[in-house]
Amino acid sequence: MTIYPAIDMLDGQTVRLRQGDPRRRVVVAADPVAAAARWEADGAAWLHVVDLDGALTGAPRHLDVVAAICGRVRIPVQLGGGLRTMADVDAAFQTGASRIILGTAALTGHLLEEAVRGYGDRIAVALDTRDGRVVMNGWQTASPVRVLEAAALLVERGARRLIHTDVRRDGMLAGPDVAGLAALIGQVTVPVIASGGIRSAADLRALAGAGAEGAIIGRALYDGRLTLRGALSAGVEVG
């Protein structure tokens, strides 16, 4: 199971949000590029980078920082946040990112189909949920669409990989929604990466047991509750 240290950028800094609320931010690293280098040095095989300013405003804001990260590290980077047009997707790949994550825009219009035609399995889709329903626009807008319904639609439209985040658990160290993840994985035919609430190696083993392809970890790593070495060891145990 692949472990993805998270680098969430807001106002040029690496932050952790609680339950997706930008007002409840904690700065965990002043320099996102230095954070990326740290996780690579500690053994990460991938990085998960999110432009939170882009997600909140609807257009990417930190592609220059992402390019600096990709120029600094040798490991692949998956990038999301505010990528809502094909021009945004193209620009995001020009930073050196290996995989792009579509969010809100994948549920409407034809961006997902266009992006998959152009980039294949280098496109992933974020399925962000609260109380079993999809949330949009940087987690700020509730949708009436249920998570399993949205997942089926996204796969039908060509999604090759889903990234599932339980927003209520994100940044709270309350443990992941293993049952909800298992239900999602049981319905779709594409890999699913889990995010939200991960706090321990036991959580990682539970997610792997549910069938997760990977796990994104933020606060637990920055707080020191879980070391990257420990997370990677757990991933090897169940991989």
Banded model confidence at residue 167, pLDDT cuts 50, 70, 90: confident
Q: Please tell me the number of Cα atoms within 13 Å of 110 on its side-chain side.
A: 3
Average pLDDT, the chain: 89
User: In this structure, what token pair is assigned to residue 78?
Assistant: 């998956």
pLDDT at 10 over 70: yes
Average pLDDT of span 151-168:
92
pLDDT at 1 over 50: yes
pLDDT at 35 over 60: yes
Q: Do residues 205 and 230 touch, judged by C-beta distance below 8 A?
A: no
Higher pLDDT, 186 or 131: 186
Distance CA 42, CA 33 (A): 14
Banded model confidence at residue 80, pLDDT cuts 50, 70, 90: very high
Average pLDDT of span 206-227:
94
Lowest mean pLDDT among 85-94, 162-171, 179-188, 191-200: 162-171
Highest mean pLDDT among 20-34, 90-104, 171-185: 90-104
pTM of the model: 0.91
pLDDT at 203 over 70: yes
What is the pLDDT at residue 95? 98
Hey, what CATH class is 2-238 in?
A: alpha beta
Average pLDDT of span 132-161:
83
Torsion on CA atoms 43, 49, 176, 121, rounded to nearest 10: -90
- Domain ranges in the chain are 2-238
Query: Known catalytic residues?
Result: 8, 128
pLDDT at 239 over 50: no
Banded model confidence at residue 24, pLDDT cuts 50, 70, 90: low
Average pLDDT of span 100-108:
88
The candidate with the shortest Cα–Cα distance to 205, out of 184, 183, 176, 185, is: 176
- Render the burial of 116-150: b for 16+ CB within 10 Å, e for the rest: beeeeebbbbbbbbbeeebbbbbbeeebebebbeb
pLDDT at 238 over 60: no
pLDDT at 140 over 80: no
Q: What is the CA radius of gyration of the chain?
A: 16
